[in-house]
Amino acid sequence: MKTLPYVVLVAASLLAPTFASAAEQPLDELIVTATRRDALLTSSAAGIAYISGDLAASSGVQDVRELQKLTPGLLGAATSNPTYQTLRIRGIGTVGDNPGLESSVAVVVDGVRRARNGASLSDLGDLDHIEVIKGPQAALFGKSVTAGLINVTTAAPTFTPSASGEFEVGNYNYRGGRLTLNGPLIGDELAGRLYVSARKRDGFYDIRTGEGPRTETDDSDQNSLAVRGQLLWRPVEAVSLRVIGDIFKQDESCCVGVTIRTGPSAAWVDSLATDAGVLAPADPGRRLAYWNRNTHARIDESGLSAQLTWKGDAATFNSITALRTWDSELGQDWDFTSADVAYRPDDGGFASRFTTLSEEATLAGSHGPLDWLVGGYIGEERLRRRDALLYGADYEAYLGLVLTGGVNPNRVSELTGLPVGTSYVSGQGERDEYRQAARTTAIFTDNTLKLSDVFSLNAGLRLTDDDKTLRATFSNTDGGKACAAALARGAASTGTLCLPWSNPAFNNYSARQTSNDRNLSGHLKLIARPNADLTLWAGYATGYKAAGFNLDRAQTNLIPDASTAFPSEDVRNIEVGARGALLDNRLLLTATVFDAKFTDFQLNSFLGTTFVVRAVPRVTSRGVDADFRWSDGPLSLQGGLVYADTEYGDDPQPGLALLPGSHLSFAPLWSGSLAGGYDWSVGSWLTRFSLSAKYSSAYNTGSDLAPAKVQPAFTLLGGRVSLGPADRRWSVDLWGENLTDKRYFQVAYNAPFQGSTGIRDTPAPIYDPARDTQTYGAFLGAPRTFGVTFRVKR
């Protein structure tokens, strides 16, 4: 009997993961699960970008953010901490800064949905493959989504013993390693797989810390640990149970931005900081940031899932039960300068916790011309968010400069009647807590009726109930005394003195809100397969994203808003597509034409002081999505091109006057990708060359569409050269990402309290450059990185 000790002994002499296969799998062997059943990619009637585990490994993909370099039409961006992540497909996504909004693009790993995009960034481990399914996904995969879904399938345990290891080093003092053990534990009934990885790197930015208390002089570093263990039990041929447990820990400093343009307020900041306060003139290429407060980000994620599969003569039953927790504790320098204006403390006061419990069960089979599937889903989500925004030592003086155009730092004292330095005391401010309970229940079906040897009709339907309850409690640790004093004196400028975090109306205030949604979504698709190599389809699909609550303070005329609710987001999509295999299955071509219309699109916008969530009545996304795969001997290529015209409707948006009729932010009109590998054999040696490129046309990176936030068109290049013996027992890889060291914006922002964008609702012109006094910053993409990887396997 082969047992675990044997696997451990085999692995003990090794160091790291498998060498990418010399060639991609044959096209007629690529399996996708977009319909919750195994199906060949070549005959699938859906817009799917397929990334094999080998391609992901040779392209350095470690988490879902890095998929964008291999997937046209997929874009990811991050802001002021690693949990604020947003994924977009064809220009549609949900800004990740507010956990009250669910994601338009869902991430599912081994059948289990992640709570938000920011809670899906752990190390993916050894991959089997990834499917990026584009367009609304209503009937299957847990909850309905409106833009698309990333379906990750990791490598399962096998009964063939194997072990692999990896160690790599790179610039920015990068060190990383991982170990995989796999094999039988009890005969041919129980197999196990263990994956462990650790990564560490210095930051991409240099920091000027002013008067502190921050001591770290770099930022956007990496320090993570991932452990993933699996058991596969097959007591009989028809039954299998796969149990997966995973842990992910992250303890980093992230994220700072750089100044891309300074306004008049830069001089005010300079007068208060012990250094320059901000970099003036702006020079984002230096990657130099001024930040006096820490940006610690501690993330702990864990999960346990069990997938039971029973294959009967007439039907297959599948059940996935999962429990996941995700915790983050963060710190933030709110004003993005080295003056001590305001901050979110690294004491647990700025934190989020998701706990999710889900069960999905399906029964699928076939009867005559009908392939059928029915199922049910229930999910419980508990969200606790703590938010603290505290005054720094310079808040009062800076507010005085704002009120007087940089003339009088003591103006606040004159308005409140309180002694100088006592209106807003350092360390005081808001401390709030939000507790949201959400339950989703659904029944669904997906069926394909064969009408003839050529035509089939696919139909899916999902009935969903979403119930949410929010309890919020608010407090001002100083009682909001400065605002109260100014109001008592009838002072002017109370709007600035009584911003939401300093408004005494929130002190000891609590609120309870509920939301109840029922939605019926689905799809109808006509499929034609005139021969074994060609699939055509035309379909109509609807999608839905649940209503929710803005988890931030909101007020009108200094009165807390009784409701912070926003409605559900809905989409209706028409899609026509074709997929064909050519040249004896060496080439696979796919093209899709889509026309999606969104109603009540959920937009989360930062307006310089607080986040505002609004439902935009109309958004459209129309275009063409095409991709190809080529595999022939030593050469493999994969790429695609997406044209997506994604626009707001003409409905006025108060405070966001540039939006009507404009392209959405983060929505390039064109995007394309190309990745390839070539194997060169000389005797008993094999060299593999890999190259990837991702192109995006220009797009705006700010939710208000301020012209200063436009990212011009750019291309990112990555490459890898692997050398080793033909049996691939070991290899040495030289790799690089962003090879041309292209500087690009992930997200550009308005520095808080530092000017005006010059955008107004009326009168025309809506945007006047002469009135634009705003200091702008940006969170940059990663610079050029390079290194060497040593791999062995057995």
> Tens of pLDDT along 695-742?
999 999 999 999 999 999 999 999 999 999 998 899 999 999 999 999
Please give the pLDDT value at position 24: 55
Please give the pLDDT value at position 7: 33
Beta strand 548-549 with 555-556: parallel, antiparallel or unpaired?
unpaired
pLDDT per residue as tens digits for the range 7-26: 332 333 333 333 333 345 67
Compute the distance between CA of residue 13 and CA of residue 27 in angstroms, rounded to an integer: 35
Compute the distance between CA of residue 345 and CA of residue 293 in angstroms, rounded to an integer: 8
pLDDT band at 85 (very low <50, low <70, confident <90, very high): confident
Sign of the CA dihedral running 265, 271, 275, 281: positive
First to last CA, the chain: 19
Please give the structure tokens belonging to residue 553: 């303070």
Please give the pLDDT value at position 9: 28
* Alpha-carbon dihedral angle through residues 495, 497, 498, 499, given to the nearest 10 degrees: 80
pLDDT band at 577 (very low <50, low <70, confident <90, very high): very high
Please give the pLDDT value at position 31: 86
Q: Which residues contact 562 (CB under 8 A, 6 or more apart)?
A: 511
Nearest by Cα to 782 from 320, 171, 27, 237:
171
Please give the pLDDT value at position 79: 85
CB atoms within 10 A of CB 107: 24
Please give the pLDDT value at position 143: 81
184 and 190 Cβ atoms separated by less than 8 Å? yes
For residue 272, the surrounding DSSP H or E stretch is helix 265-272
Compute the distance between CA of residue 57 and CA of residue 21 in angstroms, rounded to an integer: 10
pLDDT at 340 over 50: yes
For residue 315, the surrounding DSSP H or E stretch is strand 315-330
pTM of the predicted protein model: 0.92
Compute the distance between CA of residue 228 and CA of residue 242 in angstroms, rounded to an integer: 13
Please give the pLDDT value at position 528: 97
Please give the pLDDT value at position 20: 35
Bigger pLDDT: 64 vs 309: 309
CB atoms within 10 A of CB 7: 22
Please give the pLDDT value at position 762: 84
Please give the pLDDT value at position 544: 92
170 and 788 Cβ atoms separated by less than 8 Å? yes
For residue 152, the surrounding DSSP H or E stretch is strand 148-154
Tell me how far apart the 2 most distant CA atoms of the chain are, in Å. Answer: 89
pLDDT per residue as tens digits for the range 210-243: 999 999 999 999 999 999 999 999 999 999 999 9
Q: What is the DSSP letter of 663?
A: B
pLDDT per residue as tens digits for the range 287-335: 999 999 999 999 999 999 999 999 999 999 999 999 999 999 999 999 9
In the predicted model, what is the mean pLDDT of residues 477-498?
A: 92
27 and 588 Cβ atoms separated by less than 8 Å? yes
Compute the distance between CA of residue 699 and CA of residue 710 in angstroms, rounded to an integer: 6
In the predicted model, what is the mean pLDDT of residues 339-353?
A: 96
Please give the pLDDT value at position 116: 84
Q: What is the DSSP letter of 503?
A: -
pLDDT at 2 over 70: no
Residue 470's DSSP bridge partners are: 436, 513
pLDDT at 669 over 50: yes
pLDDT at 526 over 50: yes
Kindly report the average pLDDT of the chain as a whole number.
92
